[in-house]
Amino acid sequence: MNDDILVRVENLHRTYKADGVEVPALRGIDLSVSRGSFVAIQGRSGSGKTTLLNCIGALDYPTRGRVWVDGRDITTLPERERTLFRRRHIGFVFQSFALVPTLSAAENVDVPLRLAGVDAAGRRQRVQACLEMVGLATHAGHRPCELSGGQQQRVAIARAIALNPPLLLADEPTGELDSASGAEILALFRSLVDEQNLTVILAGHDPAVAQFADEIHRIVDGRLA
């Protein structure tokens, strides 16, 4: 695979069964995403955006087709290897923030570093660096309930990049934010792409993404339009 391509999706199909009836979610997706780019996938609810992200993120197995991330064919990996691959190569940001409410911002960012076995000194340094990247170095001791929605999403982004993955997947990351906070989050993704050479694939409805993304792909009924 071309070294400039971080993600390649080839003839991707995903079909679910509901009450014995097959329901196609993806119908032959082909997509290539360059390293250090910001790509948006837009479409109506139920169009297949989240299913596509889940297949790229090794959270779901496609029914047919292949997905390469950072040179690895993740569709062939056994579950344990997929888990380890996700931990090191892919960061996830969700609409609901998914922060641990009893932990401070710094402690939330520290969680993936602990799971990866990073030593205490390394964790402190990386947590500080990630909070600085998202503009929350002065809020390290705040719990989620003491932060605005936009600030909580910034903490979630800091946590997602803690292990320095090359790929960040964001599913409706501005869905619970007002327009101003949403624009700030999109601008943050842009800065991470430009300054950290991160690759971002974002799925969502927010029309403001057009100001920040390098590419916008529209998905309709499981197919890229």
Give all domains of the chain, ordered by start, each with its CATH number: 5-99+164-224 (3.40.50.300)
The residue with tokens 């837009």 is: 42
pTM over 0.85: yes
pLDDT given for residue 2 in this prediction: 67
pLDDT per residue rounded down to tens, the chain (225 residues): 567 999 999 999 999 988 889 999 999 999 999 999 999 999 998 899 999 999 999 999 999 999 999 999 999 899 999 999 999 999 999 989 999 999 999 999 999 999 999 999 999 999 999 999 999 999 999 999 999 999 999 999 999 999 999 999 999 999 999 999 999 999 999 999 999 999 999 999 899 999 999 999 999 999 998
How far is residue 3 from each of residues 89, 90, 140, 190, measured CA to CA in Å?
15, 17, 37, 22
For 218, half-sphere exposure in the C-beta direction (CA atoms, 13 angstrom radius) is 6
Give the whole-angstrom CA distance, residue 209 versus residue 165: 22
State both tokens at 183: 């624009």
User: 19 burial class (0-12, 13-18, 19+ CB within 10 angstroms)?
Assistant: exposed
pLDDT given for residue 124 in this prediction: 97
